Amino acid sequence: MVFSSLTFWFFYLPAVLLCYFVVPRKFRNWVLFFVSLAFYGWGEPIYIVLMLVTILINYLAGLLIAKFRENPGMKCLWLVLSVVLNLGFLVFFKYSGMIVDTLNLLPRVNIVFDAPSLPIGISFYTFQAMSYTIDVYREDTPEQKNPMLLSTYVTLFPQLIAGPIVRYRDVADQLTGRRETVEKFSKGVILFLVGLSKKILLANQFAAMWQNLGAENTEGILARWGGLVALTLQIYFDFSGYSDMARGLGKMLGFEFMENFNYPYISKSITDFWRRWHISLSTWFRDYLYIPLGGNRRGMGRQILNLFIVWAATGIWHGAAYNFLLWGLYFFVLLVLEKFFLLKVLKKIPGVFSHIYALFFIMIGWAIFNFENMGELFSYLGGLFSFSEGLFTQEGLSVLLSYLPITLVGMVLSTPILRKFYYKWQDKKFFPFVICVFAVAVMLLCTASLVNDSYNPFIYFRF
């Protein structure tokens, strides 16, 4: 089940909210746990067992780490064992097929192996569960003795399959001490609808535009770049839309989750972009991999090695294909160049040029991210700069012009312009009326869009 579906809006969510607010407060975590299992098991009930095993491993590891707090050797042993088991599940289900295919490239190697299907959201809930155990080891948070509370944290349906990656220490107090209010609920509804409109009304349109202007359908430089603009906008509105919906659902239930996307396309450097893009993932790798490796404290050579490891891991986290590894290393190179000299140059030139620089390399990065076939990738990238097909074709120009209005809207909405108007008008007397009109309009438009068009791609299924 996904948030952007009629089943979720009209059946699942109303039933969840009814059950949640009808039962006494002390039973609400139980409600969240069971409805979250139902949400996750809607498409893949067998993998509920895998998630429960992951919870059990980390629950026991947390207790044992706390028990041996005065014994560094045993404390470390239980942490390492839990991390190995967590990553073992992730590697087997997500990367075993890729590993076997790579081994089969060697002479005289022919391993027959049917790769398992990918459990939805395994990358997200594995990282969340690991953050709990690591934080207990660091004594950043006390161990959770109540298995129900830890289970609720890991399975919490708003962020279960699409993030943001919520760290245990950030919500530990909320699991027992959150307070649901009418104001928070109403803000959650609006935030959910903002995310819903991003996904249905924008991301899906740009996905269709990319389908019409993708590698197999594109001739002419103008159409290829138009397609890449569509892909760039689709990825942003899809990812940020789902994060907004997750945060909105969290608010309805009394939780506060971190903002995951902060207008990344207004960045003027790749460094700034990664401070704004998928913030929960970036900070997870920073706090649980980069800093433990030594960060920038052990000299320039070690810092570069640490960055290499982090960005290789970031790339592979996104998918079991070499293009994701290439994508991660691509940003590693850009970030290293910026760190040692490019940022100084970018600060001296006019902002419009540094913004163009950032967008150019971000868009090339999304091309790498999209094409799992290396041949198709390099063919597409080459076509972006080749005039052999001409500047445009009549068919390509027609498609571009038909999507021009929605493209301009997407460009504007990927900036903070509307947020500025929101803060400026929120105290006006007419503002509640505007919000009500917005809510009704979004629901009607999104419902009509899904009823009339079944094209509703879900990018997070790849993760």
Contact 200, 456 (CB under 8 A): yes
DSSP notation for 205-225 = HHHHHHHHHSGGG--SHHHHH
The one catalytic residue in 61, 318, 321, 338 is: 318
CA 195, CA 318: separation in Å to the nearest integer? Answer: 22
Quickly tell me which residue has 């991660």 as its tokens: 328
318 is catalytic: yes
Quickly tell me which residue has 């040692």 as its tokens: 340
CA 241, CA 191: separation in Å to the nearest integer? Answer: 9
Cα distances from 395 to residues 17, 70, 222, 398, in angstroms, run 49, 71, 12, 5
CA 311, CA 227: separation in Å to the nearest integer? Answer: 27
Buried b or exposed e, range 380-394, using 16+ CB within 10 angstroms = bbebeeeeeeeebee
Nearest to 141 by CA among 166, 163, 170: 170
The amino acid occupying position 438 is F
CA 133, CA 79: separation in Å to the nearest integer? Answer: 7
Q: Angle at Cα 145 formed by Cα 143 and Cα 146, nearest 5°? A: 130
- For the record, the structure tokens of 415 come out as 């900036």
DSSP state of 121: T
Helices (H), 118-257: 122-138, 147-155, 168-177, 182-197, 204-213, 221-252
Residues with Cβ within 8 Å of residue 425, at least 6 apart in sequence: 431, 434
Determine how many CB atoms are found less than 10 A away from the CB of residue 437.
10
Nearest to 362 by CA among 248, 231, 193: 231
Catalytic annotation, residues = 318
